[in-house]
Amino acid sequence: MRITKLLHPKDTMTSEERMQAAINLQVPDRVPVSPLIYYFAAYYAGMVNADLRDPANYSRAIDKCFNELGPWDALYPLNFYHAEIGTFIFPMKMLEPGLGLPPDAIRQFLEEEIMVPEDYEWITRACERTPSVSYIRLFLRWIPRIWSHIGEGWRSYVYMLPRIADNLWRWRSEYHDWHDRGVTQLYGFGLEAAFDSFSMARGILNFSRDLRKYPETIARAAEEMTDSYAFILKNLDRFFGVGRVVIALHRTSNDFISPDTFEKVALPSLKSLVERLKAEGVNSVLHCDGNWDLNLAALRELPAGCCVAQFDGASDIFKAKEIIGDRMCIYGDVPADLLALGSPSEVDEYCHRLIEEMGKGGGFILGSGCELAPNARPENVKTMMESVVKYGYYS
């Protein structure tokens, strides 16, 4: 669905045109803004976090944020209406608000072994037999190990597939509603990168041992999963009609692995995936959690003009502009602690610096450093949104 509505009186581009120009390393009419909002929406709407699993509650909460603190150019969707759907992306045991945790808590991941060493060879065989759907088969192999109430074999299909379909159709309907308001989507769908999926499913201690014992096996399994990842991402992107997907990189920062391990074990499959998606006309948003300062130069191997590197405050975003700013759009990076504990003037000053330095020459999207803090001060969030109108227009 084509977006035609403009968000601000001085705008000369739609939100989608603005986002695409930034990703293509061109200069848009102004810097776009796209905050990652989830638990903050519950806090601001006077709900508890568990309420967000109800579609009507989520819609009411996120609308309140948009109408009173926005607008923003692109929604960063993070809503799972069925708790089990989250493990399709994050293959770990979870505790959810109202499901193992108090209703006002935030999601917690349990560092337990879901993937066993034999699964590396199982992946190789599955990719040889059914390359396009090997990730779905692997997910349904893992799901009973994550959720004890889901049966194995055909029972897992019967349980999960209707819930997946329900969530997908709800997302598509929500995306169309946002388009009618002049707001695009940062991405249509996303997955954890294969290397990161293995790390999460094995558990960090087991996976660290695996990297020492058989790094080639891990790299080969991740590479062989590329066909399936590309198949899932490109087809779900077509279903949503966004043209962008997110590839989550939660375990490839310098906080978890060395730059050498990143270049030799994790980067090859990531590069293959990004290249295949580019060939299908799909851009990649790389969710780079943690400190990436020593990995930045290696990211130059990815194709230019089709990627967004999203940083969460742990990396030196200004250094990233110097090293990769000529090859990929950079997203970030207003820190959670600043939005929760800082003053509006401090937020305004930092956003101004980001817009002036990171936005120079285009290729920049202003956003929160990962998710907005649940206890962010509303006046700080509003200051961040308004900064792109105050400082972000290109002359």
In a domain, 143, yes or no: no
Query: Once rounded to an integer, what is the mean pLDDT over residues 242-271?
Result: 97
Cα angle value 230/93/45 (rounded, 5°): 90
16 phi, psi to nearest 5 deg: -70, -40
Query: Could you tell me if 158 and 84 are in contact, meaning their C-beta atoms sit under 8 angstroms apart?
Result: no
Distance CA 282, CA 287 (A): 16
What is the CATH classification number for the domain harbouring 197? 3.20.20.210
Query: Once rounded to an integer, what is the mean pLDDT over residues 88-94?
Result: 92
In a domain, 215, yes or no: no
How many structural domains comprise the chain? 1
313: left (phi over 0), alpha (psi -120 to 50) or beta: left
In a domain, 4, yes or no: no
In a domain, 120, yes or no: no
Instruction: Identify which of 364, 285, 369, 359 has the alpha carbon closest to the alpha carbon of residue 335.
Output: 369
Q: Which domain holds residue 45?
A: 15-81+171-202+226-390
**pLDDT tens for each residue of 300-348:** 999 999 999 999 989 999 999 999 999 999 999 999 999 999 999 999 9
**pLDDT tens for each residue of 148-172:** 888 787 888 888 889 989 999 999 9
Task: Retrieve residue 104's tokens.
Answer: 């006002």
In a domain, 98, yes or no: no
In a domain, 127, yes or no: no
Q: Strands of 307-311's sheet, edge to edge? A: 189-192, 244-249, 283-288, 307-311, 329-334, 364-368
In a domain, 156, yes or no: no
Cα separation values, 385 from 188, 192, 331, Å: 22, 28, 14
Global model pTM greater than 0.85:
yes
In a domain, 5, yes or no: no
pLDDT at position 1: 58
